[in-house]
Structure 1
Amino acid sequence: MSSNSNNNSTLKSYVDSATGAVQNTVGSLIGSTGDEAEGKARQQKGHAEYDASHAAAKLPGATVSSAGVAKDDPNRTAGSWNQTAGSAKEFVGGLVGSETLKQAGHEQNRAGREQEARGQLNDLASGVGDRAKGAVGSAVAGLTGDRARQAEYQHRHDAGKTQQRGAELDIQRQAEAKEQP
């Protein structure tokens, strides 16, 4: 974890939520309304930290999060474009009665979905890997007192986190879109 208080951590959110729950329960059991209220507040803080840790915004070709900005795998952008172009061909083919154009559009749309999915999986795997390497490297550099390397590894962790969150956001949106009637 970074000492930077603006860098939200999922682990810290879990710790704060659990600590708050325990403090709330103990306060309730011993009749201490102050401890109970403080525990509830800590739990709410943990939930807010969790939400902030998972927040990401998509831009064309990139993801922005509290940890930074990460460029998307080129297959994600190209795949999205192929889906759009394929859908347009399908529409025009149906409009003018061209089964060939309609079928070509359908195939391009399908290929674009597959291409985008490959890019999402690449970004997800790369992000998880960079987060892990960054966390371990930062911890080791911190133990050895190498602050410059620690900062480099923390940057790698943060970039991986943003990349992972961007892929997760796209995958979640696509799953939600499939659930819509």
Structure 2
Amino acid sequence: MSANNNNTSTLKSYVDSATGAVQNAVGNLMGSTGDEAEGKAKQQKAQAEYDASHTAAKVPGATVSAAGVAKDDPNRTAGSWNQTVGAAKESVGGLLGNETLKQAGREQNRSGQEQEARGQINDYTSGVGERLSGAVGSAVAGLTGDRTKQAEYQDRHDAGKTQQRGAELDIQKQTKARQQQ
């Protein structure tokens, strides 16, 4: 990714939404339907940008977003696998009446959940750190006029954002699944 103004940004969506709200309100007060409509359009565009900024898709072992692709922490994949194998052992143990196999499956499932959570936390915190260092580095490089470094730091920011969004997506999915149980 290069540093361009087409990247989705949560901060930019907030600024655009506030600008649109002010323009809408001023247009309403002044009786200018054109300004009012333009303000509403800015707010809608800001909402679309906000939504795009928070959109990510999971593929096996990675996350894909508008900002790029980020590989998952290995603990996330291994933990998910251990949960699956553990649940299978627990089911087979239950069907066969084998309490030892059932308990071993339950323990492997629990261990897998913990392992996956460690990977999610690592991806989330690492993503936040990469976003922050990328944003600061890009700003400094922009001030010094170093466009190459600015693009490198923007890439770091974008990779961190994707990594963070992937962890958030998994955490939200797991939270929703627990609430449905």
* TM-score, with structure 1 as normaliser: 0.97
Q: What is the number of equivalent residue pairs in this alignment?
A: 180
Q: Which position in structure 1 is the counterpart of 2:123?
A: 123
Find out whether 1:92 has 2:89 as its counterpart: no
Distance 1:23 1:179 in 2: 41
* Ranges of 4+ aligned residues in structure 1 off by more than 4 Å: none
CA-CA distance at 1:30 after TM superposition: 1.3
RMSD: 1.0
5+ residue gaps, structure 1, are none
Q: Which moved more, 1:51-60 or 1:28-37?
A: 28-37
Distance 2:73 2:165 in 1: 13
Whether the 8 Å contact between 1:69 and 1:159 is mirrored in structure 2 is: yes
5+ residue gaps, structure 2, are none
* TM-score, with structure 2 as normaliser: 0.97
Within 5 A, what are the aligned runs for 1:12-51?
12-51=12-51
Q: Which position in structure 1 is the counterpart of 2:10?
A: 10
Distance 1:3 1:60 in 2: 28
Q: Which position in structure 2 is the counterpart of 1:166?
A: 166
Distance 2:147 2:41 in 1: 34
Whether the 8 Å contact between 2:3 and 2:155 is mirrored in structure 1 is: no
Distance 1:40 1:76 in 2: 42
Distance 2:5 2:57 in 1: 20
Distance 2:3 2:154 in 1: 10
Distance 1:6 1:82 in 2: 40
Distance 1:13 1:27 in 2: 21
Among all aligned residue pairs of Structure 1 and Structure 2, give the percentage whose two residues are the same amino acid.
Answer: 81
Higher relative contact order (CA 8 A, sep 6+): 2
Whether the 8 Å contact between 2:8 and 2:53 is mirrored in structure 1 is: yes
| Cα deviation code 1:127-179 (max 9, x no counterpart) | 00000000000111111111111111111000000000000000011111111
| Cα deviation code 1:94-131 (max 9, x no counterpart) | 00000000000000000000000000000000000000
